[in-house]
Structure 1
């Protein structure tokens, strides 16, 4: 932050985690600046309380915000619902903060609204700049979480929140700081959005190249023929048609129910599989502590394909050689036979055509699923092993380059987010003097 000057004189704030503040700034407990208004929830069994016109904010609503103000909610309540619960309407400009599950989401009320009991609203006692205190509460989310208490769930109480220290520069300085941060964070957010879009485009390119390679091959001049399968389309003339169940074993090995209770397994669930087919968060568990669905035994070279919530595209390749690797019965485990290169089968199942076909064959709305036999019935067009290996080598090299680019961009995004958070903290605590920038635009 060396590019920004500091105030001329500072004093000790008297608050250890805040440190020094500008000499003319004050420190007040929150209860002297805001009234705390609790939320509430009407009875869910009374239909007349719901689907009204009153915005009723929950922590989930706050978690989805991409801007400072909140003007709508997923669910709304009626006047009857409001009168029959502890929720109260707070005015536009109030600050809404989640105080449980989790603590620290914050927004400014863009319309009069109320909240459920997972949120509290801060209504200013005297005139303040809401955006300044929005940034202040945003900057101290770490501290608010420290103050949370509870056993069943962690919650920030009224008494703890009321004693949170606030810095109180003049209203003009509050406005200048808020304007400065609006300008700067908008620029940073724009850079982040551009980089996220670039990641999205790279991932789309990766998916398109994988699909093209495993359904058309790499030779653009090869003679094609109609596969006879509508969703596959044309394939190279020399490729053979088959079905997945003829080219791989499916769910070949299962962990016995008589397994020793103390047998340690490395468990892969659907949530362990990343959007690009990687595996994270493998759990080490004793058999007795593992969920009943932890039964599929995995071997090196297997491909696992999610048969539940198929829209998540949880498809991964097993490169690990350990003998105690187990996955959920929510996966179909494909063990390729001799005519199929293991990694080729993975790329085939990851291709857009196969992902879409699996989703299409799924049954159910909120929890779509397919049977392992449905996956086994999928048609496939295959080149010989030598061509498969050539395609795998090409895709390995290509996806490695794409993944590296994505990782580099994600690191840039993380640094931008850290800079954004640091800038907010430095400005709202007076570590930098931004008064002269408060009403002008500046290039980041």
Structure 2
């Protein structure tokens, strides 16, 4: 027998069980606070150890990423301690472009500071911590908060908007029952997702090894070899040359476009993020200058690049596509000249020594790699689609149970 339902009066929530109530977040929490802004916490305040700082990069969907650690000194902490999050608190990202990211402080942290783009939430004693996390992470909460950011260039919420967000709330006993059920379901989904992510990483490593083998060893396993004298290259076919890239490569700086248009604009390691009226013509290789320097891109047709990326061209003795495959294999760690923000100069790229087979052999290698990488990329794309399907299933499961569309048996 289906339980009685009532109209919530909110389109993106729909019907809720008759014995549930609709309450604003401010009625469910003891306190909501944001982190220190501006000069209260600057880049030079961070230390290699001390009091942990929760940053935006730590917050993922229903998870806390502990792999990225930041700290401030105990002395600095004393000046901003009112922004402390503790065990039993939730931390929510202010940016909601894709979903609402809410995490619990991991058990390895007794307490921490939440940064300005992370909001601390202390639930009241009458609300189950995990249920509140699920409810805030629900697609219905995402849609509700998105209404508050209408017209903004970036989907960002503040403490006032979060306090006013209305959530469907069951009795405490049912909250705990829903939380326990979703914990079990999400644990299984996360385990499958982790396994698929590991498979993707293995295929990406395999792709890189195939490229490295082809551009440094060639495709003839019987070719006589000799030492290249370059560590990341190793041995090369005896008939190949080792040359400085500047013998065959020209590199240009990027800059911000003057006017908007329909030409895709790239930065270091990025997909197009805006459009320009100005353009350059490919084929070219975009090399990272600052930031994500180890993800070169091969570009054909019209494009524009900002100053975080160089555009590189080759002469008739070095195919652009072959140079692109080479650039994937560069030993970037050796050339990083700034630890806080990885960067490379034109001089460093141009002084690199690279293997140079004949143009005919380059063409054969490029054709082989185009086909092989397309096969690997197809497998990776299919696995990424599996991850997306699992992600959507997890979100729909959370939505159905925290809005009462489906019931956990007592």
The CA deviation at 1:214 is 0.8
Q: 1:50/1:7 Cα in 2 relative to 1: closer, same or farther (>3 Å)? A: farther
Q: Report the counterpart of residue 340 of structure 2 in structure 1.
A: 366
Contact 1:27/1:166 (<8 A) preserved:
yes
3-state SS in 2 of match to 1:405: helix
Please tell me whether residue 432 in structure 1 is matched to residue 410 in structure 2: no
Which structure would you say has the larger Rg? 1
Residue 302 of structure 1 corresponds to which residue in structure 2?
284
SS of the residue 1:434 aligns to: coil
Counterpart of 2:251 in structure 1 is 251
* Aligned counterpart for 2:322 among listed residues 341, 344, 351: 344
Distance of 1:114 and 1:44 partners within structure 2: 12
Separation (CA, whole Å) in 1 of partners of 2:83 and 2:232: 55
Match of 1:293 in 2: none
TM value normalised by structure 1: 0.75
Question: CA 1:61 to 1:24, structure 2 compared with 1: closer, same or farther past 3 Å?
Answer: same
Partners of 1:63 and 1:104 lie apart in 2 by: 10
Partner of 1:284: 275
Instruction: Tell me how large the CA RMSD over aligned residues is.
Output: 4.0
Q: Following superposition of structure 1 onto structure 2, how do residues 41-440 of structure 1 map, counting pairs within 5 Å?
A: 41=36, 44=40, 58=54, 60=56, 63=59, 67=63, 74-75=70-71, 87=82, 92-99=87-94, 104-109=100-105, 111=110, 115=114, 118-139=117-138, 140-148=141-149, 156=157, 159-246=160-247, 248-251=248-251, 266=263, 268-271=265-268, 273-274=269-270, 280-281=271-272, 283-286=274-277, 298-309=280-291, 312-320=293-301, 322=302, 325-328=303-306, 330-350=308-328, 352=329, 355-356=330-331, 358-435=332-409
Residues 51-97 of structure 1: per-residue CA shift (max 9 Å, x gap): 8x996765526525873699x98345759965x66827676424443
Query: Which SS does the other structure have where 1:107 is aligned?
Result: strand
Query: 1:122-142: CA deviations, max 9, x gaps?
Result: 444443321111101111133
Give the superposition deviation at 1:186. 0.9
If the length of structure 2 is used for normalisation, what is the TM-score? 0.80
Q: Which has the higher contact order (CA 8 A, sep 6+)?
A: 1
Provide the C-alpha distance between the structure 1 equivalents of 2:81 and 2:346, rounded to a whole number of angstroms.
50
**Cα deviation code 1:26-50 (max 9, x no counterpart):** 333334333334345397499xx99
Q: Which runs of 5+ in 2 are unaligned?
A: none
> How far, CA to CA, are the matches of 1:426 and 1:435 in structure 2?
14
Structure 2 SS opposite 1:166: strand
State whether residues 51 and 74 of structure 2, in contact with CA within 8 Å, keep that contact through their aligned partners in structure 1.
no
